[in-house]
Amino acid sequence: QVQLVESGGGLVQAGGSLRLSCTSSRNIFSINTMGWYRQAPGKQRELVAKITSAASTNYADSVQGRFTISTNSAKNTVYLQMNSLKPEDTAVYYCNAQLPRLVFWGQGSQVTVSS
């Protein structure tokens, strides 16, 4: 079992920045992949960014160059630094942890970008 606790969402103007944090109850080195997904109203949940235990990263085309995923192993925390935010980035953001045959989700953090 892995518990994921998120923080850092909020309201920001277009062009601004926010950082999301997700703290895991399990050592993140033992988690195959950690990532961030988002779901906007009326849309499907989509991958934003992910990072493997080997520190390999992958980003959605829509956030490439603006968002950065990183980890702090001492704190068992994964971050999503979001810069140059756009109104279309407005969504609930979910932290995700993937192990063999198991997937865990955080509670979700609302990010709202005003124009």
Percent of the chain residues topping a pLDDT of 70: 100
Amino acid at 44: Q
Provide CB contacts within 8 A for 58, sequence distance 6+.
47, 49, 50, 51
d(CA 62, CA 72): 25
Average pLDDT over residues 12-25: 98
pLDDT tens, residue by residue, 61-77: 999 999 999 999 999 99
Q: What is the pLDDT of residue 29?
A: 86
Phi, psi of 62 (to 5 degrees): -70, -15
pLDDT band at 86 (very low <50, low <70, confident <90, very high): very high
